[in-house]
Chains A and B, each alone.
Chain A
Amino acid sequence: MCVERVVLCVPARASVRLGCARRDVRMWEGCCAPIMPESDFQEELVIRPLHSGDIYASFQFRTLWETDFMKGNKVSHYRLFPKSLGQVISKFSVRELHISFTQGYWRTMQWGQPFLPAPPGAELWVWFQDTVTDVDGTWKELTNVLSGIFCASLNFIDSTNTVQPSASFKPLGIGNVTDHRFLRYATLPREIVCTENLTPWKKLLPCGSKAGLAVLMKSEKLFHSSFHSEAVHIRPVCGDVECKSVSWELRQTLDVVFDLHTSGQGKREWSLFKMFARTLTDACPLASSSKIYIDITDNPEGEHFELSPATPLLSQAVVLGDRRTFSVYDLTDPSTFGTMRTFNVQIKWKNTEGDMLRPLLHAERYVAGYGLQTGEIHTLMYNQHPYRSFPVLLLDSVPWYLRLYVHTLTVTSKGKDNKPSYIHYQPSKDRIRPHLLEMLVQLPPNSVTEVTVQFERALLKWTEYTPDPNHGFYVGSSVVSSLVPSIVAMDTNNTRDRPLFSSFFPTKEESSYFIRVYTEPLLVNLPTPDFSMPYNVICLTCTVVAVGYGSLYNLLTRNFQIEEPNPGLAKRIANVIRRMRGVPLL
């Protein structure tokens, strides 16, 4: 079994606490004192209709727990926070853990920016606490334990695909220490995502997949999509408004993009039932808030699409640098479900007009060159802001069997050389560690910046090839982290209560927001030997030896004897009679 079930331990005094049914922390001081740290669970679903007719649904489940795993605290009672992850955090002294499993590639030009970006395959990055002495050993054990929890082959993460970024992937939680010695980052671009990864992910939720928004997660629909990404993010956050205490946050997110033609049968009409083959019946009873947000910013007067059932609740939030308007359905309110006790949202398009998306930052990557000897990696970064330039941090991790020639590294924008203000390069060691290249580049407005580097392919040992070597070898996605100028002022008060989808990346300044863009992974063919060659050589040699040498040996050593032919029956009888008569035989 991949995940242990959460054991609900009910201490003796819990009945007193349950008498006060409110979950708001501030009410406790008058009502009854909590005897164990309070945990809070929120769930939300954001549905954003995309211009191309596809639809983007993003589930976010957040468990907030007022405890502190740091400073060696021992925790024994788990209620909403899953015990398997809590034990992983305590045992391996983890400060932050981010793991994601993705199938498909996010198409920024057609779909805009996702709320939580993820590269194809599996990605894991962890910040350890500064009490850890052997970070590499702890990292190896952590990947093995996570491979058991999530039923994924994360045990293939080792020193050949782990890097230690020097400037990217700063911690997303609170804290002051940012020594990059405690950071490890690895991707497995070949990792497959299927129901066996979704099953343990669903079991980490407090209500499982039995109540609340998680009933919509049926694998036959979720995997029949253009993009599917599930992730778990654990980090310490501010526990109160003044940020004097620490709470630990577990965020489980699932992003899925349903295609108009494969899931929608070509009709521009979406509903919860059409997307997930289920409707909602109730909210998770353990959740303090359970909401559905539908993005209606492009439809202020209802001229492009129609939403039913109608709702009076509207909410505005600043997310990804833009002020978006949402229709809100509150599932904790029983009137949402109506008399039929089910809830199904329907979005019907009236016409197909709409503005084209122009994402401000977009990145692409491809391999150029011909032959199986050399090649070139090209990374293109597009800045589509008309007059502002912004800095971009590019992280490239290339496996050791592609030998990069760093002296051929060029960075050009608008045809001219663009010198990066910071470069960190760590060369690879064969079979020990990969290349790491980090650069801080300033992208000029309305331009394309191209980063090229040439490489040479290495010949692997014959045992190092996978069972299907002609498929090719994957090179992980590049990560482009950037502070992009925002259209409206961002909210810098990170402790205020905000919808989950707008509170993931902390904002420090009002005029820009932080995003991360992943490029495509590359598929590179390495020179592959013919694995049937030894067998063929043995057969051929043995045949030649047997036919050639064997014939010669026979000719030289065979001796011939004369043998009488076998006489017929009549002659044999005649011989017998002749012997009896004593006459010479025939």
Chain B
Amino acid sequence: MLANLVLSFNCTYLAVLLSFIRFNKHVGNFFSSQHTNNWAVLVCTSRFWFNYRHVANTLSVYRSVKRLGIPDSHIVLMLADDMACNHRNPKPATVFSHKNMELNVYGDDVEVDYRGYEVTVENFLRVLTGRLPPSTPRSKRLLSDDRSNILIYLTGHGGNGFLKFQDSEEISNVELADAFEQMWQKRRYNELLFIIDTCQGASMYERFYSPNLMALASSQVGEDSLSHQPDLAIGVHLMDRYTFYLLEFLEDIHPASKTNMNDLFKVCPKSQCVSTPGHRTDLFLRDPGSVLITDFFGSVRKVELTTDAINLTEPITPVEDQEKEPYSYVDQLPVSEIIHQKPKQKDWHPPDGFILGLWTLIILVFFRTYGVKHLKHIF
């Protein structure tokens, strides 16, 4: 009886062990990300020369994201003002992130999709939800699907529950949360990482309620995010502290690195940042320790290798045109022709109904008063 018990115990133990091994394989799949493409939406919301640091923040994240593999066609970059070619910039076509002009984050290969007055709350929400007018070009659209990992980075001036756009309007945390919910319902993202570098940034992610969102902010509610260092030659502060240390952290990441999100949460502790960075992971299904940095900052490329030959279609032969008289260039300033130019033919409009009715009334009244015999004087 005891032997039976031991045997059954062994069997169950073995069964549990076997199922655990199988479970581990499934567990491995469960912990890796299911995304097939990466997108990034990087927004700077501040205007005017003294907000140089916000543009530098956004461009340094752009630079890291491009370096780690996301192509320009998958990045929507929105800069609310032009700092590089601003007339107050002593070094045109450059935006520096480190003092003594060590690193030019503007680079030589930058493509800004929304610039200047185009960066508005409406355009930002339309880009996120995909509700753009039909004539919008592809470079200005966020063409993500349900297997896309999206990185959203916002920087500017903010407060408790809002972010200021261009000194004239604001976006609230409720609007942002609703936009993300719309994206979830329309299956526009697989996982979304939201980073914000403003004063009281943690208030912006308080209202999120859609699944698979992870958020990072540079400061808690009631705290201000501070800027890092000014450059005396340029005359303004170059970067914000949180993004400066974020950039330094990202410079050590390469496309094959295995660093995970827990390291990202440790970027810029209170001793360096003066404010307390915060993060929110309760809506995220996976454990942050298993999420790689390159899941959001890098890019997955699908490459299909094939050994089949592909037949190219024959070029369409152009239509043979018949002999006609030779073409000629047009006279650029034909003075005599211009002087004798007839005025543009205006389309004939029938007289307005009101005028017609008024004249009919006048004529009717005239005839009723004075009799029909006057008719022959009119016609």
Q: Do A and B come from one complex?
A: yes
* Residues 501 to 519 of chain A near chain B (Cβ within 8 Å): 505-506, 508, 514
| B315/A219 in contact, CB under 8 A | no
Chain B residue contacts of A531, Cβ below 8 A: 168
Complex CA–CA separation, A141 to B321 (angstroms): 31
Q: Within residues 401 to 418 of chain A, which ones have a CB less than 8 A from any CB in chain B?
A: none
Interface readout for B103-134 with A: 1 if CB under 8 Å, 0 if not? 00011111111011110000000000000010
| Structural contact, A393 and B333, CB atoms closer than 8 A | yes
Task: Write the chain B residue with the least CB distance to A220.
Answer: B93
Contact B72 A1 (CB under 8 A): yes
Within 8 A of B (CB), among A496-551: 505-506, 508, 514, 531
* Chain B neighbourhood of A483, CB < 8 A: 332-333, 335
A458 to chain B, nearest CB (A): 20
Interface residues of A in 170-200 (CB under 8 A from B): 170-176, 178, 192-196, 199-200
Among the stretches A44-52, A239-247, A268-276, A308-316, the one at the interface with B is: A239-247
Beyond the given A73-B319, A77-B315, please list 15 additional residue pairs across the A-B interface where CB-CB is below 8 A: A1-B111, A167-B341, A170-B331, A176-B327, A192-B116, A195-B107, A219-B108, A244-B323, A393-B338, A422-B339, A440-B335, A467-B167, A468-B167, A481-B332, A506-B330
Stretch of A146-154, A285-293, A323-331, A553-561 with 4 or more beta carbons under 8 angstroms from chain B:
A146-154
In the complex formed, the residue of A with least CB distance to B47 is A467
For B, the interface residue count at a CB cutoff of 8 angstroms equals 58
From B118, B316, B323, contact of A155 by CB (8 A): B118
User: Does A467 lie within 8 Å of B331, measured CB to CB?
Assistant: no
CB-CB under 8 A for A195 and B93, given A200-B111, A466-B117? yes
Which of chain B's residues has its CB closest to A442's CB? B335
Are B324 and A244 touching (Cβ within 8 A)? Answer: yes
Say how far B144's CB is from chain A's closest CB, in angstroms.
Answer: 15
Question: How long is the Cα–Cα vector from A67 to B331 in the complex, in angstroms?
Answer: 24
Q: How large is the interface on A (under 10, 10 to 19, 20 to 34, 35 or more residues)?
A: 35 or more
| Chain B, 55-87, CB within 8 A of any chain A CB | 71-73, 82, 84-85
Q: Is the CB of B332 within 8 A of A514?
A: yes
A35 with B315: in contact, given A149-B137, A196-B110, A421-B339 (CB under 8 Å)?
A: yes
- A117 to chain B: closest CB distance in Å? 13
| A235 nearest CB neighbor, chain B only | B329
Q: Are B333 and A391 in contact (CB under 8 A)?
A: yes
Tell me the nearest residue of chain B to A71, going by C-beta: B319
Q: Check A166–B344 contact: CB distance below 8 A.
A: yes
A36 to B166, CA, bound (A): 51
Query: Out of A103, A152, A421, which one reaches B85, CB within 8 Å?
Result: A103
Chain B residues within 8 Å of A447, by CB: none
A11 in the interface (beta carbon within 8 A): yes
Q: Are A1 and B338 touching (Cβ within 8 A)?
A: no
A223 lies within 8 A of chain B by Cβ? yes
Mark contacts of B309-349 with chain A using CB atoms, 8 A cut-off: 1 yes-contact digit, 0 otherwise: 00011111011010110111111111100110100100000
B32 → A minimal CB distance (Å): 28
B 82-101 binary contact with A (CB < 8 Å = 1; else 0)? 10110000011110000000
Within 8 A of A (CB), among B133-165: 133, 135-140
Interface presence of B48 (CB below 8 A): yes
Task: From the candidates B47, B109, B328, B341, name the one contacting A166 in the complex (CB within 8 A).
Answer: B341
Instruction: Report the minimum CB–CB distance from B64 to chain A (whole Å).
Output: 18
Contact B85 A192 (CB under 8 A): yes
A238 to B327, CA, bound (A): 7
For the complex formed, measure the closest distance between the CB of A197 and the CB atoms of chain B, giving whole angstroms.
9
Residue contacts A-B, CB under 8 angstroms, 19 given:
A11-B315, A12-B312, A35-B315, A73-B318, A141-B135, A148-B139, A153-B117, A155-B118, A167-B341, A172-B329, A220-B93, A223-B84, A244-B323, A467-B167, A468-B167, A483-B332, A505-B332, A506-B332, A508-B331
A279 CB, min distance to chain B CBs, angstroms: 17
A36 to B339, CA, bound (A): 45
How far apart are A54's CB and chain B's nearest CB, in angstroms?
17
B318 close to A175 (CB less than 8 A) = no
Q: Does A348 contact B (CB under 8 A)?
A: no
Q: Could you say which residues of chain A place their CB within 8 Å of the CB of B118?
A: 153, 155-156
A67 to B71, CA, bound (A): 33
B333 touches A144 (CB 8 A): no
Please, how many angstroms separate the alpha-carbon atoms of A77 and B333 in the complex?
A: 37
**CB within 8 Å of B: which of A199-214?**
199-200
